[in-house]
């Protein structure tokens, strides 16, 4: 068995392939970064649309059901108002985010910075959604309680919001981890340049 030294293997590789052993395939990296940028932009836009649509739909259901039943508590109206305000706030945030997308340069690092900016926005969106859940949970619970419903239905509502709050924490950590990976990739690329 012949044992080659690393430097000798590297020299042979370099002469045969005309590229260093540790060369970065820039085209593959560029495609990967463009894919990450596209994925983050898509999930960010979809999240925004889901939040806007769900809040408008839920507020509409609350208002229509109150009109049909002929009774509605003050807490239900506050809940519907909070949902409409959330939808308006998200629509304004979406417009601002989309307007700021042209500020990134057309390069690999520009695409990566764009993906990082959208990932940071997603982290903010997840945190805001988590905190925004609290007033909605409060108004929903008070509305159900004010309606004179049974205690077990009230407990189901509370259990639902506790589960959603827990799951939103998991989502927040996952999104933050993806953002950190993108930032680490950018830091590595900047070190090599």
d(CA 69, CA 72): 8
The per-residue pLDDT for 137 is: 81
Task: Give the residue ranges of the chain where pLDDT is below 70.
Answer: 1-25, 147-148, 193
Q: How far apart are CA 91 and CA 87, in angstroms?
A: 6
Q: Which residues contact 69 (CB under 8 A, 6 or more apart)?
A: none
Q: What is the pLDDT of residue 12?
A: 56
pLDDT number for residue 15: 61
Helix H, strand E, coil C: the string for 36-59 is HHHHHHHHHHHHHHHHHHHHHHHH
Any idea what the Cα angle at residue 116 is, between residues 90 and 180, rounded to 5°? Answer: 110
| pLDDT at residue number 37 | 81
| 112-133 tens-digit pLDDT | 888 888 889 889 888 888 887 8
Q: How many angstroms separate the CA atoms of 82 and 116, rounded?
A: 30
Please say whether the beta carbons of 144 and 62 come within 8 A. no
Task: Look at residue 2 in the predicted model and tell me its pLDDT.
Answer: 47
What pTM was estimated for this model as a whole?
Answer: 0.68
Q: How far apart are CA 177 and CA 75, in angstroms?
A: 37
Distances (CA, A) of 73 to 31, 68, 77, 190: 54, 13, 7, 57
pLDDT, position 23: 53
What per-residue confidence (pLDDT) applies to 91? 93
């Amino acid at each position: 068995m012949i044992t080659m030294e690393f430097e000798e293997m590297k020299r042979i590789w370099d002469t045969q392939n005309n590229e260093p052993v540790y060369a970065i395939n820039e085209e593959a990296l560029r495609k990967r970064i463009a894919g990450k940028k596209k994925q983050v932009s898509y999930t960010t836009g979809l999240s925004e649309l889901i939040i806007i649509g769900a809040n408008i739909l839920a507020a509409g259901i609350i208002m229509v059901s109150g009109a049909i039943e002929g009774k509605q508590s003050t807490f239900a109206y506050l809940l519907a108002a909070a949902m409409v305000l959330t939808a308006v706030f998200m629509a304004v945030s979406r417009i601002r985010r989309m307007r700021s997308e042209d500020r990134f340069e057309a390069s690999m690092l520009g695409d990566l910075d764009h993906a990082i900016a959208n990932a940071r926005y997603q982290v903010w969106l997840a945190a805001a959604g988590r905190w925004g859940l609290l007033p909605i949970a409060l108004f929903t619970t008070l509305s159900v309680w004010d309606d004179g419903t049974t205690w077990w239905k009230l407990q189901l509502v509370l259990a639902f919001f506790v589960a959603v709050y827990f799951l939103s924490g998991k989502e927040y950590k996952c999104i933050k981890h993806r953002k950190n990976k993108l930032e680490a990739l950018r830091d590595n690329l900047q070190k090599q340049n």
